[in-house]
Amino acid sequence: MATIEPVPITRRRSVIGEVFFWLALSIAFIFFMFPLYWLLMTSLKLRSEVTLLPPTLLPFVDFKPTLLNYLAVFTKVSELGTVTEAKANTSLSEFPLHLLNSVLIGGGATVLAVILGTLAAYTFSRYKIKAEADLMFFILSTRMLPPIVVLIPIFLMFTYANLRESYLGITLLYITTGLPFVVWMMKGFFDEIPREYEEAAMTDGFSRIEAIWKIVLPEALPAMLATAVFVLITAWNEFVFVQLLNPSHATTVPPFLYAIIGYGQIEWGHMAATSVVFLLPVVIFTFLVRNHLLRGVTFGAVRR
């Protein structure tokens, strides 16, 4: 009679560990993704279905999805006698303008902050600068204070410089807040790129600028894209400064979302649909650079 050999203890521990790993990963995935799922489902419900108890979670099973909330995001929609009817005016709502402002201000600030911060980081990495450690600490210290601490000085400065209610003022502010992060991140990445690459290129007849453009920047591109994602998210979600400095002109989406709450009954479906549309540009940008994101984040993690 054939005998069944027992499974080695180390193999059983490995299988059990793998099961617990995937179980923990699944729980974490559900924990972090469920709020987004709830947001999406709320955006597909009518006003009368949003506050039902117990809540409805499955579309086409518990409730019938509707796009009225998304229609209300871009056009002026008013509900009629029944909850299934809606009337849309031909005029656009205020949301597209605020979304365009977010794209222009957040995108412009991100591009300029990454360009300027990358140049500064390259300088700190490749040249000997007097009191370099003190300068780097000073750059980092600008991110140590919460925004509320510098709110009054910035408000007074923008008022005297006539930068309030302008695209230029809020964009410059977002560039200033994003630059320290870019400089510190990119300096670590440039330190990991061997100097010999540039020296070999300049030996072959390239100038310093050509060596940077053709040799260094292609190597640093994943790091630049990864840094741009974090800078864009910070500028995209910023609320306090734009609410105080640009309350009526060049206003981005976060203050507009807050204004939807208004008084009386809260339009949760409208808010959820607006939030979903507001999330899409950042999600699309992150998806497009996903192949460079992991390498960019871990590029400077291992020292030579």
Cα 260 to chain center, whole Å?
22
Burial (Cβ within 10 Å: 0-12, 13-18, ≥19) of residue 69: buried
Q: How far apart are CA 273 and CA 44, in angstroms?
A: 8
Q: Which DSSP helix (H) or strand (E) runs through 94?
A: none
pLDDT band at 84 (very low <50, low <70, confident <90, very high): very low
The larger pLDDT score, comparing residue 203 to residue 2, is at 203
Helix, strand, coil percentages, rounded to 5, for the chain: 70, 5, 25
Q: How far apart are CA 32 and CA 277, in angstroms?
A: 19
Q: Which residues contact 230 (CB under 8 A, 6 or more apart)?
A: 181
Q: How far apart are CA 35 and CA 254, in angstroms?
A: 18
Burial (Cβ within 10 Å: 0-12, 13-18, ≥19) of residue 287: exposed
> What's the mean pLDDT in 65-89?
64
Using DSSP bridges, classify how beta strands 75-79 and 86-92 pair: parallel, antiparallel or unpaired. antiparallel
> What's the mean pLDDT in 171-178?
92
Q: Is the pLDDT confidence value at 9 over 70?
A: no
> What's the mean pLDDT in 225-248?
90
What percent of the chain lies above the pLDDT cut of 70? Answer: 87
Q: Is the pLDDT confidence value at 90 over 60?
A: no
Residue 66 pLDDT: 83
Q: Is the pLDDT confidence value at 85 over 50?
A: no
What percent of the chain lies above the pLDDT cut of 90? Answer: 19
Residue 110 pLDDT: 94
Encode pLDDT of 185-231 as tens digits.
888 888 888 888 888 888 888 888 888 888 888 888 888 888 999 89
Q: Is the pTM of this model over 0.85?
A: no
Q: Which residues contact 282 (CB under 8 A, 6 or more apart)?
A: 232, 233, 236
Q: Is the pLDDT confidence value at 234 over 60?
A: yes
